[in-house]
Amino acid sequence: MEALSLQPKIIFLMANHSATRKDVRQSRKRNERNRYHGKTTRNAIRDIKAIGSKAEAAQKLPEVSSMIDKLAKRGVIHKNKAANLKSKLTKGIQALEAK
């Protein structure tokens, strides 16, 4: 019996033209890079939400906001989503009690 694989099956495009092959290579690289930056930013957002003190969270907010802005600039997320994320983070930090 075959073991169940949790990895999604990746179907590679068999391009007929060299320019199309190059485009596939470039898009694969971009996809990996975008996934890395997106995941890193999500982890940073999760970490800042877990901080209990207002001062520490406020100190890390500009760094995380910058990461979010870069995602929007690169087109990984929409600019409105970036604005919503930053707004929610700022509201959450303002709601924390100063410790």
- Extract the residue ranges of the chain whose pLDDT is less than 70: 1-13, 98-99
Residue 26 domain-assigned?
no
Output the pLDDT for position 7: 63
pLDDT at 36: 96
pLDDT at 99: 55
Question: Is 11 part of any domain?
Answer: no
In a domain, 1, yes or no: no
Is the distance from CB of 86 to CB of 65 less than 8 angstroms? yes
Give yes or no for a contact between 70 and 37, defined as CB atoms under 8 angstroms apart. yes
User: Does any domain span residue 96?
Assistant: yes
**99 part of a folded domain:** yes
Q: Which residues contact 56 (CB under 8 A, 6 or more apart)?
A: none
pLDDT at 16: 83
Predicted pLDDT of residue 23: 92
Q: What is the pTM of this model?
A: 0.77
- Does any domain span residue 67? yes
Q: How many domains does the chain have?
A: 1
